Amino acid sequence: MTTATSMRAAVVKEFGPKLHVEDVALPTPGPFQALVKLHASGICHTDLHAAEGDWPVKPAPPFVPGHEGVGEVVELGPGEHPVQVGDMVGNAWLWSSCGECEFCRTGRETYCAKAEYGGYTVDGSFGQYMLVDTRYAPRIPDGADPVEVAPILCAGVTVYKALKVTETKPGQFVVISGIGGLGHVAVQYAAAMGMRVIAVDIADDKLELAKKLGAEFAVNAKEQDPAEAVQAYTEGGSHGIVVTAVHPAAFGQAIGMCRSGGTIVFNGLPPGDFPAPIFDIVLRGITIRGSLVGTRQDMAEALDFYARGKVAPHVTACELDDVNDVFEHMRQGKIDGRMAIKY
Ligand code: NAD
Ligand code: ZN
Ligand code: ZN
């Protein structure tokens, strides 16, 4: 139990560049819910899209963003729970789902129409406390550093699932387009999964990081046509491509980088569209698919890669009060890996 009645949180009061860091009431856990005292929370580009109201389906201000939260259970709501007070758990984008629809029953719970999203449809981890649904909250591996493990809860699970659905086999090429929070862990998962990794970004420092983390070839899409460079290096295109970039141009470029019969998976969600050349897609038999975070099972697997030392997010700690500065750096593409709030 906690005796606190209020907490500090970063609140989106209206869509736009500024969050308000202020005192808000402590939430009370309902059935299937736990109150969690945060130790850390990653800051995902999705939180910036949420604060700016970028997407067609918008959250309703006031709300607290954040879906890479790591903390300890301090209070349980009514009913039975799979966790106890003191356990380390996280929140995730997939905060809960209905458990009964076609998608929930067939291992595709992230596409449940009744799913709740952490930091979007329910308050998230940009505050000292948060609620989780204990049936969905990821269990944090024993001994994990809260700041370092936090990005696995969104960036990690998202790219791990995306890599799986590219159906790229060990020894085949995979392009990671966009080496930010998602992309820099994607390089590590892909390498751990035995794929030959190619990194594409528009900043040389991000490409350097990708090379340190296991990419064998890197292309700066501002200086070189990435389609030409990847086609030449791979002698015919990459088998798999994961696009995490925050610019629509990268989505069109993926088609040019793809091998005949290859699969492109879109993770990035910049507002906008891109031209899709019908002739190319048909004659080269290219598959394009979207992928949204991952299921609870994907999450457990993604965390297991971390626990076994196969992936290690590159994280810089900051304070809750720094959130607006972090968003500004994120807009400018100036973040190395991930930033995470340390409480
Ligand atoms: P980030 O800001 O950390 O990284 C974005 C990267 O894209 C940066 O390295 C930037 O340099 C790069 N980039 C920008 N323009 C580019 C271009 N033209 N070509 C190649 N690279 C380019 O963002 P993030 O936290 O990694 O999130 C990335 C995107 O993924 C966001 O749109 C976010 O909302 C989305 N996302 C989706 C899911 C999902 O489930 N599908 C989950 C999490 C995040
Ligand atoms: Zn995210
Ligand atoms: Zn459902």
Q: How far apart, in whole angstroms, are the C-alpha atoms of residue 126 and residue 310?
A: 28
List of residues 6+ apart from 334 with CB closer than 8 A: none
Atom of ligand 1 nearest to the CA of 337: 3
> Ligand 2 centre and the CA of 47: distance in Å?
7
| pTM above threshold 0.95 | yes
Q: Which two tokens mark 37?
A: 């005292």
Read off the pLDDT of residues 282-341 as tens digits, 9 standing for 90 and up: 999 999 999 999 999 999 999 999 999 999 999 999 999 999 999 999 999 999 999 999
Q: What is the pLDDT of residues 22-64, one digit of tens each?
A: 999 999 999 999 999 999 999 999 999 999 999 999 999 999 9
**From ligand 1's centre to the CA of 46, what distance in Å?**
9
191 CB less than 6 Å from ligand 1? no
For a mutational test of ligand 1's pocket, the pick from 41, 43, 46, i.e. the residue with the most ligand atoms closer than 8 A to its C-beta, is 46
Inter-residue contact 66 to 118 (CB < 8 Å):
yes
Query: Does ligand 1 lie within 6 Å of residue 178's CB atom?
Result: yes
Q: How far away, in angstroms, is 50 Cα from ligand 3 center?
A: 23
